[in-house]
């Protein structure tokens, strides 16, 4: 079994794109802390294991997904296929109000591993 021991400084190398699974524009969603997110990814590194997690961007790091205040949304690792598709994954986002990024990070989470470009979830 694969597990992510730490998500510190995750997703510093962006490869692929995260998408919300439900219909509508994929750019942003909102909800209260504890909201369930349903996401998938395309263009990730093929045949690798990923976990769904959330984090915040920061000044000077806007192009590095889910980099600060990270938390797992779903600890179950999902394998990307040969085309870099990560299947739809459910996760719970617990956090303070504000703008959170949702992305998939390749495991093990080391701080320099690839991750997918995030989608935005605003907690109210």
What is residue 25's three-state secondary structure?
A: coil
- Among 2.60.40, 3.40.50, 2.40.50, 1.20.120, what is the CATH number of 13-123? 2.60.40
The answer to whether 124 and 97 are in contact (CB under 8 A) is yes
**pLDDT, tens digit, for every residue of 34-60?**
999 999 999 999 999 999 988 876 666
Distance separating alpha carbons of residues 112 and 94, to the nearest angstrom: 24
**pLDDT, tens digit, for every residue of 57-111?**
666 665 566 766 677 889 899 999 999 999 999 999 988 898 888 989 888 766 5
| DSSP assigned state of 30 | E
Q: From the CA atom positions of the chain, what is the Rg in Å?
A: 13
Distance separating alpha carbons of residues 83 and 119, to the nearest angstrom: 20
What is residue 122's three-state secondary structure?
A: strand
* 0.75 surpassed by pTM: yes
CB atoms within 10 A of CB 3: 12
Q: Which helix (H) or strand (E) holds 78?
A: strand 68-79
pLDDT confidence tier of residue 22, bands split at 50, 70 and 90: confident
121 forms bridges with which residues in the sheet? 29, 100
pLDDT at 68: 65
pLDDT at 117: 86
pLDDT at 29: 83
- How much of the chain is helix, strand and coil, in % rounded to 5? 0, 55, 45
User: Which residue's entry shows tokens 């980099």?
Assistant: 67
């Amino acid at each position: 079994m694969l597990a992510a021991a730490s998500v510190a400084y995750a997703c510093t190398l962006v490869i692929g794109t995260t998408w919300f699974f439900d219909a509508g524009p994929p750019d942003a969603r909102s909800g209260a802390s504890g909201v369930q997110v349903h996401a998938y990814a395309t263009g990730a590194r093929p045949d690798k294991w990923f976990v769904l997690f959330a984090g915040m961007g920061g000044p000077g790091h806007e192009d590095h997904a889910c980099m600060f205040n990270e938390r797992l949304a779903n600890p179950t690792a999902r394998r990307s296929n040969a085309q870099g598709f990560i299947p739809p994954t459910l996760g719970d986002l617990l956090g303070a109000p504000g703008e959170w990024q949702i992305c998939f990070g390749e495991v093990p989470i080391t701080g320099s591993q690839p991750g997918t470009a995030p989608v935005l979830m605003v907690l109210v």
